[in-house]
Amino acid sequence: MPNSSSTLPNQPVILGFDPGRQKCGLAVMGLDRSLFYHQVVSADTAITTIEDLRQQFPVSMVVMGNQTSSQSWKQQLAEVADPLRVVLVDERYSSLEARDRYWQMYPPRGLTRLLPQGMRTPPRPIDDIVAILLIERYLERLTSNSA
């Protein structure tokens, strides 16, 4: 089930894409860092899901991780109708950072909250949270370059 905000953006948004061989993370975020959507999808349905998201949101570009199979995914994105600009972002350490962010977004409950954070394992794939972090890294790069 996708995690999405009930309000639609009134500005162009960025699609975050964490490509993988079996599963991919997707996120849609505004330039003001408002999060509108995030979900983990199978690699088989990633392109179709991206096309669906483009129907729902005013996507201006794709920010994608530069590691796992990124070049083949960039090629696939270039082959869709009306291709978007794809910007590659350094995704080193993003999985570790995403684990921490998961627990910020979804605080642990029950006995899990008694475990030290480093020993907790998120109960679901966190590729969508990696996609969120990729957008944030891109936006950070923009603001630090313009300062």
Residue-range domain boundaries for the chain: 3-146
Average pLDDT over residues 56-81: 88
- Model confidence over 12-49: pLDDT tens digits? 999 999 999 999 999 999 999 999 999 999 999 999 99
Average pLDDT over residues 74-81: 86
- Indicate the CATH number for domain 3-146: 3.30.420.140
- Judge whether residue 61 has pLDDT over 90: yes
Q: How many residues does this entry show for the chain? A: 147
Residue 57: closest CA among 19, 92, 30:
30
What is the structure's pLDDT at 1? 43
Average pLDDT over residues 101-113: 92
- Around Cβ 90, how many Cβ atoms within 10 Å? 13
